[in-house]
Structure 1
Amino acid sequence: MRKFIASLLVMSFVGCSASVLAKEENPFITSREIDLIKLLPPPPANDSLQTKEELREILALQASRTPEMVARSQADATENIWRFADVMGVRFKREQLPAFAKFFERVEASEGAVVDTYKDVWKRPRPYLYSSEVKPVVKMSHSGSYPSGHATGGTLMGIVLANMVPEKRAEIMARAAEYANNRVIGGVHYRSDIEAGRIAGTVIAARLQARDDFNMSFEAARKELRNVLELSPEPVGSK
């Protein structure tokens, strides 16, 4: 009997651990909590004047982009918080920030859990599917073009990161804007996709800040980050 009870306890512990792990890997928020149809205008129609103007912008960038611009857009095709390393400095590394890394995995997952649903609703064709003149230099995607997931995620990550390190807010948000714009340079998004993504990212960030589970994880990640970056526990003038 004692062995049986002990076995049950072990199984229970393992089950609880797996449950906690699964919960940690879940997004903080999904499309069930945020209705982008109510928050965003529909994408421009394929044959609209706006789409044609946005296509001209993509083709103009395609003609003028330098090898450095191409390399930057290709590097920014990766969706994670570590793309902000050039702003945050040499200490900004995954191996030094385990709690921070786990936290931002959930933040990043939240973008997809919200945006992917509405990409499937609007089904806007990517620029290279609309015009054979568009020659992407980054990996092509089968998902809808509107809104941009990268612009949403970059804006969301930028806002959250800037709230942790407000001393670098201007640089962080400039990097988030560049990250989003590189999707147009890369030939895989229209300008209106980017603008809608920035709105979506801002809305998701605001909604997350109202959640207790987010705020608790945010505080632990913020503390770890500021310690690793050798910043004061609280920014000067924050209180």
Structure 2
Amino acid sequence: MKVPFMRKLIASILLVSFVACSASVQAREENPFITSKEIDLVKLLPPPPANDSPQTKAELSEILALQAARTPAMVARSQADATEDIWRFADVMGVKFKRDQLPLFAQFFQRVVDSEGAVVDTYKDIWKRPRPFIYSELVKPVVKLSRSGAYPSGHATAGTLMGIVLSNMVPEKRAEIMARAAEYANNRIIGGVHYRSDIETGRITGTVIAARLQTRDDFNTAFDAAKKELRGVLELGPDPADSM
């Protein structure tokens, strides 16, 4: 009578072990080009405005004004932009801009996005600026909530960083790409999860990370391969600037 029970118990243990192992295999290990050890944001950025400062109150008023004016289309756009990846630029890049056609490009930009988190998350924990919806119950967010520090905005950092790198690959679309990066960042205010100063310092941080990455050989090697693949898929031909 005990044998079937033992068999079931062993089978259950094996199943749990298999699921746990599968989950660990599926979990993606981050592989940034650069980390907070190489960029000191405390020396680069001012501290965030104090909670009771006139600046924070003015920024809160902006959030509430946008909250009152936001349309369903604005809400949907801000929710879609809550995803941190390069494919949010597809509406600028065109129908051929797809992950399955750009494996090298996709791998490269995942490392770019990983670099944002590896730099910014450390300083969010240092400054610990409360999110607007934590500071004021009048703020009604429409995007996924985060309890991490608000300053600087990781999304604004990532959007700016991605925009700069992508526009360096396709300078023909630089204006449109950077406009999309600005919208991507601003949607964090519309979504109710960031103040204006979080966004502005995120743009500064993204610009600094982009500049620092361009000094690294590993980044430049991967950039060149990803750029070649992208321009080939988009049928743009060689970048004229490469021959100058």
TM-score by length of 1: 0.89
Structure 2 segments unaligned to the other structure (5+ residues): 1-28
- Secondary structure of the 1:182 match is helix
Match of 2:180 among 165, 171, 175: 175
How has the CA–CA distance of structure 1 residues 80 and 227 changed in structure 2, closer, same or farther, with 3 Å as cutoff? same
- 2:138 aligns with 133
How has the CA–CA distance of structure 1 residues 238 and 152 changed in structure 2, closer, same or farther, with 3 Å as cutoff? farther
- 2:149 aligns with 144
RMSD: 1.1
The whole-number CA distance in structure 1 between the counterparts of 2:106 and 2:164 is 16
Match of 1:81 among 74, 77, 86: 86
1:233 Cα deviation (Å)?
A: 1.4
- 1:56 aligns with 61
1:235 Cα deviation (Å)?
A: 3.0
The whole-number CA distance in structure 1 between the counterparts of 2:238 and 2:30 is 27
- 2:70 aligns with 65
- 1:158 aligns with 163
Match of 2:208 among 198, 203, 207: 203
CA contact 1:167–1:235 (8 Å) conserved in 2: no
CA contact 1:166–1:235 (8 Å) conserved in 2: no
CA contact 2:170–2:239 (8 Å) conserved in 1: no
The whole-number CA distance in structure 2 between the counterparts of 1:119 and 1:80 is 20
How has the CA–CA distance of structure 1 residues 175 and 238 changed in structure 2, closer, same or farther, with 3 Å as cutoff? farther
TM-score by length of 2: 0.87
- 2:217 aligns with 212
- 1:12 aligns with none
The whole-number CA distance in structure 2 between the counterparts of 1:236 and 1:168 is 14
Note the alpha carbon deviations across 1:126-171, whole angstroms, 9 max, x for none.
0000000000000010100000000000000000000000000000
Q: Which aligned runs of 4 or more in structure 1 are off by greater than 2 angstroms?
A: 235-238
1:81 Cα deviation (Å)?
A: 0.2
- 1:92 aligns with 97
1:25 Cα deviation (Å)?
A: 4.9
How has the CA–CA distance of structure 1 residues 100 and 64 changed in structure 2, closer, same or farther, with 3 Å as cutoff? same
Identity of aligned residues (%): 82
1:118 Cα deviation (Å)?
A: 0.1
The whole-number CA distance in structure 2 between the counterparts of 1:79 and 1:220 is 22
The whole-number CA distance in structure 1 between the counterparts of 2:123 and 2:229 is 34
- 2:230 aligns with 225
- Secondary structure of the 2:240 match is coil
Match of 2:108 among 82, 103, 106: 103
Larger Rg: 2
- Secondary structure of the 1:141 match is coil
- 1:9 aligns with none
1:27 equivalenced with 2:32 (yes/no): yes
